[in-house]
A and B are shown apart, each in its own frame.
Chain A
């Protein structure tokens, strides 16, 4: 599914930064309780037209419930869900302009691929010729023309996934809801399909809402990600922002690998923050404004790939630097992760890209090393 160049469109797409654009989907103070259990807790969220939006979080965080409330399978206990300016309250799923691709695909086992895809169109009383044209278009889109007469159980997992996708797209929904759509595929197929999904979404110009617990998947496909925890949204931002500027330890820790060091804020010149950090035995300087008062508790978070590891002392005295001993090395093929134990007993992780074939390791177990990082490599978190 290779279409025209999508780079320029994607690069400039940021309606959330434009105060003139109205949100397409809006959750307003939505709460959902199941008995005692609060699945979604006073949550507000705005999603824009043509956006590929991901709800990311561990299982039980409420992301599926949030999506099901948009689909109409669950009604909010409190608050409103709006789509294109219309309050969806009380509208049953079969009258909503949304379609969902289920995690289990939910293909009707007693119907052929063709009938599965045509099912939604038939409910609307679409003329026969139109149904035929649309189903064929969908089959072509997911490259399953040859399989139209097959039953779902006669298809492989990847083919079933594409039927489910075609079926949910056939009615041109205002929003396509994807509930862990790639969860049942193996890793390689999943990665391919992620790119196909983004291309498809660009090509069709539709709004996609995806629920996933896989952070890589969310980063690959989505324009923006909402990270959820216990029924609340912790951060909404683009994948790059989520990765580089997490707003909390929860987000930092949930996405990718990270070192988190605890400390207290020390007085610092304007435009920077200084953290008194017991773990490193030295102050950590970060080029970042912090509103929190001096002396308050805070954390320094830095990705392992942003920590430089070397045998020699740094020449630039202004960088953050600590000494330690290589405790363990994890060889992952593309990168190696070094676990370096500092004199304080704390451990920091640093990764090295294995750019050349491994002949001999320049740094090895029990080497005394320097760990250095620049002032803008990490972030200070106050929660």
Chain B
């Protein structure tokens, strides 16, 4: 679309972003509030962060959640990438519509349904619930997101590159490793990051599928939040937001630097050497 802003456009964008960010900014601000009351500003303090460090249960939950997110995101990335290849490369095969249905449906499926159905499956199978059942559940949910992200990268991929490698004597599997994979890697990494944060974030599915000894951070936060706002929750939220913001920022800076390099390369090419 054309560049050029009108008063209306600028205002709507500004208001929209104010709405999106105000609650987060307020939350971060009040995590440094010395007062226990949310509405009263009692001066700057980091005491809630120190109190958080003393809260062993909270720290345990955080550690479990990180491990869970790491394992499930890694498995989900593997499965999701395979699923994306299936969607893009296998054309029509028996059961394809069932397959793509199973990829798209979890994206919008209410968590309560997914959580309940997985729990009932685990019960029916007689599996002990805990860390691994939540991991399985998260893999199932997040691999579909990975599949969608990797799929969009694969669709844009020039098939001729693979054919060129085959043509030059490179067998198919090696071609996938040395040509396809490096070129879709940004998509795969983005998929992993998405799976990681989705797992980090999930309350409902984890609540259903977890067992004793595997209380995740969202579950812990949820149980405390029901009793109202506490500065300690603000503090841990701020830490989580900071982690994600840093990750996203680094990712976008890397992307930006690549873009700059690409433009430099193009200028170089135009000058003809």
A-side residues, CB < 8 A to B, are 71-73, 92-96, 98-100, 102-104, 106-110, 119-120, 123-124, 146-147, 151, 153-156, 159, 167-168, 171
Distance of A147 Cα from B166 Cα, bound (Å): 25
Indicate whether A153 sits within 8 Å of B266 (C-beta atoms), given known contacts A94-B166, A110-B182.
yes
Nearest-Cβ distance from residue A227 to partner chain B, whole angstroms: 26
Q: Report B156-193 CB contacts with A as 1/0, cut-off 8 Å.
A: 00101101111111111001000100110000000000
Distance of A168 Cα from B268 Cα, bound (Å): 25
Do A154 and B169 have beta carbons less than 8 Å apart? no
| 13 more A-B residue pairs beyond the given contacts A102-B163, A153-B265, A154-B268, with a C-beta to C-beta distance below 8 A | A92-B171, A94-B166, A94-B167, A94-B169, A94-B170, A94-B171, A96-B167, A106-B164, A120-B168, A153-B269, A156-B270, A167-B168, A168-B168
Chain B residues with CB under 8 Å of A100's CB are 163-164, 167
Nearest-Cβ distance from residue B64 to partner chain A, whole angstroms: 38
Nearest-Cβ distance from residue A114 to partner chain B, whole angstroms: 14
Nearest-Cβ distance from residue B127 to partner chain A, whole angstroms: 43
Indicate whether A123 sits within 8 Å of B167 (C-beta atoms), given known contacts A153-B262, A153-B266, A153-B269.
no
Partner of A73, one of B163, B172, B269, B272: B163
Chain B residues with CB under 8 Å of A98's CB are 167
- Per the CB 8 Å criterion, the residue count for chain B at the interface is 25
Do B169 and A123 have beta carbons less than 8 Å apart? yes
B101 at the interface (CB under 8 A from A): no
B-side residues, CB < 8 A to A, are 158, 160-161, 163-172, 175, 179, 182-183, 262, 265-266, 268-270, 272-273
Nearest-Cβ distance from residue A177 to partner chain B, whole angstroms: 8
Do A119 and B163 have beta carbons less than 8 Å apart? no
Chain A residues with CB under 8 Å of B172's CB are 92, 94
A73 closest partner in B (C-beta)? B163
Chain B residues with CB under 8 Å of A153's CB are 262, 265-266, 269
Do B163 and A93 have beta carbons less than 8 Å apart? yes
Pairs across A and B, CB under 8 Å, 28 listed: A73-B163, A93-B166, A94-B167, A94-B169, A94-B175, A96-B167, A99-B167, A100-B163, A103-B160, A104-B158, A106-B158, A106-B160, A108-B179, A109-B161, A110-B182, A119-B165, A120-B169, A123-B168, A124-B169, A146-B273, A153-B265, A154-B265, A156-B269, A159-B272, A167-B164, A168-B167, A168-B168, A171-B168
Chain A residues with CB under 8 Å of B262's CB are 153
Do B269 and A106 have beta carbons less than 8 Å apart? no
Nearest-Cβ distance from residue B254 to partner chain A, whole angstroms: 15
Indicate whether A104 sits within 8 Å of B160 (C-beta atoms), given known contacts A156-B269, A171-B168.
yes
Distance of A99 Cα from B166 Cα, bound (Å): 10
Do B183 and A110 have beta carbons less than 8 Å apart? yes
Chain B residues with CB under 8 Å of A108's CB are 161, 164-165, 179
Chain B residues with CB under 8 Å of A156's CB are 269-270, 272-273
Do B168 and A119 have beta carbons less than 8 Å apart? yes
Do B164 and A123 have beta carbons less than 8 Å apart? no
Partner of B169, one of A73, A107, A109, A171: A171
Nearest-Cβ distance from residue A167 to partner chain B, whole angstroms: 7
B268 closest partner in A (C-beta)? A154
Distance of A163 Cα from B197 Cα, bound (Å): 43
Do A155 and B269 have beta carbons less than 8 Å apart? yes
Distance of A63 Cα from B247 Cα, bound (Å): 50
Partner of A102, one of B160, B170, B175, B265: B160
Distance of A98 Cα from B164 Cα, bound (Å): 11
Do B168 and A71 have beta carbons less than 8 Å apart? no
B161 closest partner in A (C-beta)? A106
Indicate whether A151 sits within 8 Å of B265 (C-beta atoms), given known contacts A102-B160, A171-B168.
yes
Chain A residues with CB under 8 Å of B163's CB are 71, 73, 93, 100, 102, 106
Distance of A109 Cα from B163 Cα, bound (Å): 14
Partner of A95, one of B160, B169, B183, B266: B169
Chain A residues with CB under 8 Å of B270's CB are 156
Nearest-Cβ distance from residue B179 to partner chain A, whole angstroms: 6
Chain B residues with CB under 8 Å of A109's CB are 161, 183
B159 closest partner in A (C-beta)? A106
Chain B residues with CB under 8 Å of A96's CB are 167
